[in-house]
Structure 1
Amino acid sequence: MNVLNNKPMLCLWVCAASLSGCFDGNDNNTAMTPMPEPEPEPLMVSYEVTVDNLTQGQPLSPITLILHSEGTLWEIGQPASVALEKVAESGDNEDLLVLDMAMASASGEGLTMPGNAQTITINIEDVTNAYLSVAAMLGKSNDAFTGLNAQGLAGLMVGESWTLFTNAYDAGTEANTEDMASIGAVGGEGFSEVRDDARNMVTMHPGIVSVDDGLATSALTQEQRFDNPVARIRITRTQ
């Protein structure tokens, strides 16, 4: 065998073996798989809503707050929803708190008496352009309520506050008889499925007449009369 004649083949074999021995599958030039980026922390958005009762003789029912992206709680000239009717006739806000359009909701505790105020906190994640709606019954009435209807919050920055004044509305679901049998706060019926107000639509409230001002069957006195505005609402974005 002529080893010299096979020298090129030997060299090729040695080189190939050498390369094979150096390759162990861990090529340092191979691109590393990128690590997934961590999920961003949710942005917590918080508001403090303070409601002042400006009336002299009307307690406000537990105050309802709702944050939503569409819809309204009421529309002047249109029938009230059953959820709003329950608030306006009896102060029951359970249905309002769980409306389909509500992205977040909160309720005050107990009554807000005349001259007093109550502050409620409501929180939501990752939404800074929600609408705020507020509702509460004027307790000594047939179906009077007050509140905010889809107040946009997009322009309210952290640390800023807005103050708004609200009027009294008539749910149009119960006639304003002011009699003992129809007002829950003075011992009568609260919410009734039967709507006996012929208008059956939300309007501005005409006010309380009272027994002192000539409505002989009224269970209310001049103390329960009110002028607009009936509430002051201060909204503060705290986070």
Structure 2
Amino acid sequence: MKKSLVTLALTTVLGAASFASQAANIDVSITNATKGIYFTPLLVVAHSSDIHLFQAGTAASAEVKSMAEGGDISGLSSVAANAGAVVSEDPAGGILNPGDSATATLDTGSADRLSITAMLLPTNDGFVGLDSWTIPSTPGTYTIRLNGYDAGTEANDELKGSMPQPPFITFGENGTGVETSITNSKIHIHPGNLGDNDPAGGKSDLDSSAHRWLNPVAVVTVTVK
């Protein structure tokens, strides 16, 4: 159901010459900063400066689409690994609940950029993202606040039939749909869920008191050792 730009596989053999000169061991702690939004399994990747898991303003690749619409990070992980990136899959061991944190430890080797992705639940094609952040060469602790992105691959109708339905999320029903068509087909900042307070009708099958959110959606702490 999704598509996102992965210059990973398209950007040639990532030669060692394009990497930063020094290696670093880093801890990457991701905190879900929302009230009622869940993160699907996270993908944390250290890579060279000439690749991207996704980029705002571009069409989503098939791998990004799969992550943003269904939480499937396997395609993005494979593309990244095949491009020579250092990959950490699912450091939370599953869903990252609101308020919870997960930490990935990476030996970055010659990689000098950091990217992170995971689907936001419940959304149609929303995901939390960090695109090619420069890993500092100076040891220390660095904090980044992450926005939610819209993959642009699916209309944000907010209907339960259009998104995964895990048992820990209570959906309404009989919504007529917030959107009926895609208004921006490129990756862009997500406007957040609208929701409503009618569990048996209205426009949305999402509860505005629990599932409405604004950016940022995550806080990342990177410790460079």
Q: Which band: TM-score by shorter chain?
A: 0.7 to 0.9
Query: Is residue 201 of structure 1 aligned with residue 180 of structure 2?
Result: no
Question: Is the 1:66–1:102 Cα contact (8 Å) retained in structure 2?
Answer: no
Q: 1:177 aligns with which of 148, 157, 177?
A: 157
Query: Is residue 228 of structure 1 aligned with residue 210 of structure 2?
Result: no
Count of matched residue positions in the alignment of Structure 1 and Structure 2: 185
Which is further off, 84-93 or 209-218? 209-218
- Give 1:146 shift: 1.1
Question: Is the 1:207–1:226 Cα contact (8 Å) retained in structure 2?
Answer: yes
Change (3 A) 1:121 1:173: same
Change (3 A) 1:199 1:44: closer
Distance in 2, Cα, partners of 1:166 & 1:213: 30
Instruction: Specify the code of the residue in structure 2 equivalent to 1:140.
Output: P
Distance in 2, Cα, partners of 1:46 & 1:213: 49
Query: Is residue 83 of structure 1 aligned with residue 63 of structure 2?
Result: yes
Listed one character per residue, the Cα deviations across residues 101-143 of structure 1 (whole Å, up to 9, x for unaligned) are: 3421011220110011111112233x2x511101111111001
Distance in 2, Cα, partners of 1:186 & 1:57: 13
Distance in 2, Cα, partners of 1:61 & 1:156: 30
Instruction: Specify the code of the residue in structure 2 equivalent to 1:226.
Output: W
Instruction: Specify the code of the residue in structure 1 equivalent to 2:53.
Output: L
Give the gaps of 5 or more residues in structure 1.
Answer: 1-42, 189-195
Instruction: Specify the code of the residue in structure 2 equivalent to 1:66.
Output: V
Structure exhibiting the larger radius of gyration computed from Cα positions = 1
Query: Is residue 157 of structure 1 aligned with residue 121 of structure 2?
Result: no
Query: Is residue 142 of structure 1 aligned with residue 121 of structure 2?
Result: no
- Give 1:217 shift: 4.0
Question: Is the 1:88–1:137 Cα contact (8 Å) retained in structure 2?
Answer: yes
Question: Is the 1:98–1:105 Cα contact (8 Å) retained in structure 2?
Answer: no
Instruction: Specify the code of the residue in structure 1 equivalent to 2:133.
Output: Q
- Give 1:198 shift: 5.4
Please name the residue that 1:110 is paired with: 94
Give the gaps of 5 or more residues in structure 2.
Answer: 1-21, 172-180
Give runs of aligned pairs for residues 55-134 of structure 1, distance below 5 A.
55-69=34-48, 70-99=50-79, 100-107=82-89, 108=91, 109-125=93-109, 127=110, 130-134=112-116
Query: RMSD between aligned alpha carbons?
Result: 2.3
Change (3 A) 1:156 1:185: farther
Question: Is the 1:64–1:105 Cα contact (8 Å) retained in structure 2?
Answer: yes
Question: Is the 2:191–2:214 Cα contact (8 Å) retained in structure 1?
Answer: no
Question: Is the 2:24–2:137 Cα contact (8 Å) retained in structure 1?
Answer: no
Question: Is the 1:186–1:219 Cα contact (8 Å) retained in structure 2?
Answer: no
Change (3 A) 1:102 1:147: farther
Instruction: Specify the code of the residue in structure 2 equivalent to 1:203.
Output: H
Identity %: 30
Distance in 2, Cα, partners of 1:89 & 1:208: 15
Which is further off, 135-144 or 93-102? 93-102
